[in-house]
Chains A and B, each alone.
Chain A
Amino acid sequence: MTELKIGLEIHVQLNTGKLFCDCESYITDTVIGSFQRTLYPTSGELGKTDRAALFELSRGRIFNYAITDNSCLVEMDEEPPHPINKKAVGTALALSIALNCLTFQKISVMRKIVVDGSNTTGFQRTSLVGLNGTVKFHKRIGITSVCLEEDSARKISQDGNTVLYSLDRLGIPLIEISTEPDIESAEEAVDVARELGYMVMSTGMVKQGADSIRQDVNLSLGFGRVEIKGVSRLNIIKEIIEKEIERQNNLGAALILMKERGGFEASRVVPIDVTSLLSRTKSKIILTALNRKESIYSFLLPNLEGLLKNDKYKVGREVADCLKPFGVNGILHGDELPGYGITENEVKEITAHLALKENDSFALIAVESDRVGELIKVMNERIKKLEKLDFSETRAANIDGTTHYLRPLPGRERMYPETDIPGFEITKNLLKETKEIAPGTLDEQIEKMSRKYSISQQDSSTLIRNGDREIYEEICGFIDYKLAARILIHIVPQFERETNTVVERSVLLDLCRALSERGTLKLSLEPALRIINEEKKVPVDILDDIRIKPLSKDEILELINAEMSEEPEFNEKVMLSRLKKKSNRPLDPMVVMAALKEIHKA
């Protein structure tokens, strides 16, 4: 077996505001209008129309777009793009430098043709910021490129050939880091993805949110390169890779068997209209198709008997998958028929005209009569390609760790210059500024942070891993470094665990700032968090709330005297816990001690 080679593409959304307009980066359901478009592939800079783009065209789709409150004429492709977002460029440049990439004199924005509707323009704006880098984690990993691009529109739904997208995500800056295929196991892939993720997060420019980091996995096992899109969680990478290896090995075995039997004779695949033979069927699938005015065709699948769906052989699924982009949900094939309400007699009738030979199987497809020819052609081409043990294609990750066919791999000449945006010059000054935010590897960052704030390496590591580095550094701007670490590592996580909630970091920052100005941060923080959470308040509402105000020395003395009149005997510790029970306000043990001392003296 050829050795496994894996490369990763990490996509990270930035919180800098959109890349080519002045809209903010967030996801929203606030829709203020909609419109409809079509897209047509056009020629690239060097003349040839892109293969992947043409493929999308053959699908003849209509795109609807929901206009959100964070989209303007730029996202609608109704206004030229604004100059590129400087903060986003700085972040991409910082990462390029940290990853030892080659950088250039100018950043040139390109148009990458994408006509699946996910960009209103029909292209994605992207620019190459760093090239040919390398980074050392547990071993050296080559970095192919660091790109800065605009995120695509968010797909909401699809109904046949009509797709609905939301414009909220379109234009959010996305940093794409691609590695060389230097990764040799699924475990290693997870590690590299995690390390790269930390590096990007350490810039402090990463957008918060579930979808803000996405991975693509490029994998080759000797059957050509397979690109798996949209692996959103780190912990699924391993499973995806393992299942893909299994799929390719099984598919390879099935196809070798098919070849030994004489191969896939595409010329024998001739669809025959069997609609009339099934007019009395009880099969729900067929009846639904007939209701939609579709015709039912049967056709041969030469030398595929027992390989379509049988134990580990699942060629049937591969066949069905390639028809899905054309709005065909599936086929019914010989390995699963009789079944799905289709009787043995019906099977006999519909296969009667097919000239089945030994090892041949067959399938049924429901489709409008004018499309059947085109679909059979698509299917034949895919099986012929697989037969050559060329599995290269673009696939998409499913939630369960499996993948499905998406489209052929994009061709090479899919880009041409974005003539509406002037090149962005990388000046010496910009490089200097950028070096200051340049992140290092995780270990380097931990070391650097622990030194800068005199906190333990363990605390530093926890803060970075929790994504709290940015807020920590901000809080350190006005309070003691150690207290800041205690708040973020102990007080807040403990509160979050007890209440099963998440404290929003912006709220926490506001609260810390206000309380530290009043000098009561240490004592008031926890009660304040509690009130905010229980009573759904914002920090400014509760700053003067008596319940978060620490008891003064006089108030404590008064309380102690009242306690002593009930029970004169006490030691310091007992008194402290008695006072805590008596008052619902925070109290400072040091002040209690001082008060007790005064009483003793008296």
Chain B
Amino acid sequence: MQFGSKVKVRYRGSELSGRFINKSGKSIVLKLDNGYNITLSDEECEFLSSTYEDSEGETDIVESYGTGPLNIMMLHTGGTIASRVDYATGAVTPVQDLRFLSPGLRNLQKKVTVHSKVIDNVLSENMVPDHWQRIATEVARHMKSFDGIVVTHGTDTMTYTSSALSFMFEEQTVPVVFTGSQRSSDRPSSDAFHNIEGAVVASTQNIGEVCISSHLDTSDSTMNILRAVRSRKMHSSKRNAISSVGSGLIGEVQAGEFRKVDIRKPRSDRNVIKSKLEKDVLLYYFSPMSRPEDFLTIAQGNKVSVIIGTGLGHIGDRFLEPIKELTEQGSEVIITSQTLFGEINLNVYSTGIKLQEAGAFSVGRILPEVAAIKAMWVLANFKSEDFRNIMQSDIRGENPSRETLDRT
């Protein structure tokens, strides 16, 4: 039977009428005329009649919104923000129709014209580096003809994709602003609308960086514009899940107005894009339970191993041998830290010094995931003798040389 069919059923001696929603296993779900869904057991439910009228679905899709002079391209990749749940099948489908996100754009419609394009439909946990490259290509293609680019993306791995693009775009003519949501946009309380507003406003600014628009806190009032390479998803469900670790706040958007905090690069007059990536990079989480032989097994065959160590960048002595073996074979071993906040320093304790002697090196304050992505990009685009030097320098704001007691 088709979703939405009008049905009459007999159930435990009563006649019920409503619409057929679905059948799964031995359960039949009907939507009663009062709006409630009920679940009936297949065996006790007798269908008396059913009619289906092909309702006139909204077939016209609005792919641009607003009448303003600035043209913004919004590229959808999937994830909660640009998805709707199909209540019949439970499937998640992408939203291209901008009317759905219009509450977030309403206040901007005289400033911008927003165009929309679905380039992918991937839950962010399913993203792999190939997707990053496809997204980079799409973004690059639209940079010339638009005044700003917004990319909607699932929040789970948004900081990975945006960091990858951040390295790929050496120079950019327009801002690239990623945004997503923690509550789907089919809910009245969705954070999507405000995140979108923040993203579109940021995309009109004089920013030559890849950034993220996300709630400052649980209130719908201030959107943070974060530097992609300093950001991380730090909560599983809260609205302000994506936040910067230490420094990394580019600006804030409040009531449609942008307030600058720290723009590292303004818009460039040209786009310089290096989108190659070396995929053989391992990201490994060290713990007291870790066994060096396991590590060695998975590390071999990778050109770089980024180890997430403890504290200042410490890894148990039992790992010195495997690290030495890897570096002698020509692999690179990079040390980062589980603390996320703070600098890695391998000179303070003997453990750190021994790690250096084994051939590993640390990369300042770079976040572990960002270090891995950067390694993929540096390996693919630069000479190998420059690898360590570039990894340790600060090229996109990922590795600030100082940390102050500012807002974190």
Contacts and interface: CB of A to CB of B under 8 A. Distances in A.
B279 interface: no
A123 to B, nearest CB: 7
A78 B238 contact: yes
A115 B188 contact: yes
Interface in B294-311: none
A588 to B, nearest CB: 60
A416 to B, nearest CB: 6
Nearest to A104: B38
Interface stretch (A38-46, A343-351, A379-387): A38-46
A411 to B, nearest CB: 9
Interface string A539-553: 000000000000000
A110 B36 contact: yes
Interface string B25-49: 0010101111111111100100000
A55 to B, nearest CB: 13
Contact of A78 (B34, B37, B55, B239): B239
B141 interface: no
A53 B188 contact: yes
B165 to A, nearest CB: 29
A36 B238 contact: no
A53 B188 CA distance: 10
A42 B188 contact: yes
A35 B87 contact: no
A110 to B, nearest CB: 6
A303 B185 CA distance: 47
A426 B186 CA distance: 29
Contacts of A43: 186
B8 to A, nearest CB: 14
B401 interface: no
Contact of A41 (B85, B188, B194): B188
A419 B80 CA distance: 13
Interface string A67-83: 00000010011111000
Given A45-B87, A79-B237, A40 B221 contact: no
Contacts of A39: 188-189
Contacts of A173: none
Contacts of B120: none
A122 B218 CA distance: 15
A78 B85 contact: no
Given A47-B57, A77-B189, A37 B220 contact: yes
A36 B37 contact: no
Interface residues of B, number: 44
Contact of B189 (A37, A107, A419, A423): A37
Interface in A519-551: none
Contact of A416 (B32, B40, B87, B220): B87
B220 A419 contact: no
A125 to B, nearest CB: 12
Contacts of A107: 39
Contacts of B185: 42
A36 B221 contact: yes
Interface in B1-58: 4, 11-12, 14, 16, 19, 27, 29, 31-41, 44, 55, 57-58
B33 A73 contact: no
B11 A102 contact: yes
A484 interface: no
A105 B187 contact: no
Contacts of A412: 33-35
B190 interface: yes
Given A42-B186, A42-B187, A45-B87, A105 B218 contact: no
A36 B191 CA distance: 12
B219 interface: yes
A120 interface: yes
B217 interface: yes
A78 B237 contact: yes
B377 interface: no
B131 interface: no
B183 interface: yes
Contacts of A423: 27, 39
B220 A106 contact: no
A80 B237 contact: yes
Given A108-B39, A131-B38, A77 B221 contact: no
22 contacts: A36-B219, A38-B193, A40-B103, A42-B190, A43-B186, A45-B31, A47-B57, A76-B218, A78-B238, A102-B11, A102-B12, A105-B27, A106-B27, A108-B37, A110-B35, A123-B187, A127-B36, A128-B34, A131-B38, A145-B34, A413-B35, A419-B87
Interface of B: 4, 11-12, 14, 16, 19, 27, 29, 31-41, 44, 55, 57-58, 85, 87, 90, 103, 183, 185-190, 193-194, 217-221, 237-239
Given A131-B38, A147-B36, 6 more contacts: A42-B187, A77-B183, A79-B237, A112-B35, A127-B36, A145-B34
**Nearest 6 CB-CB pairings of A with B:** A122-B188, A106-B39, A415-B35, A128-B36, A40-B103, A36-B219
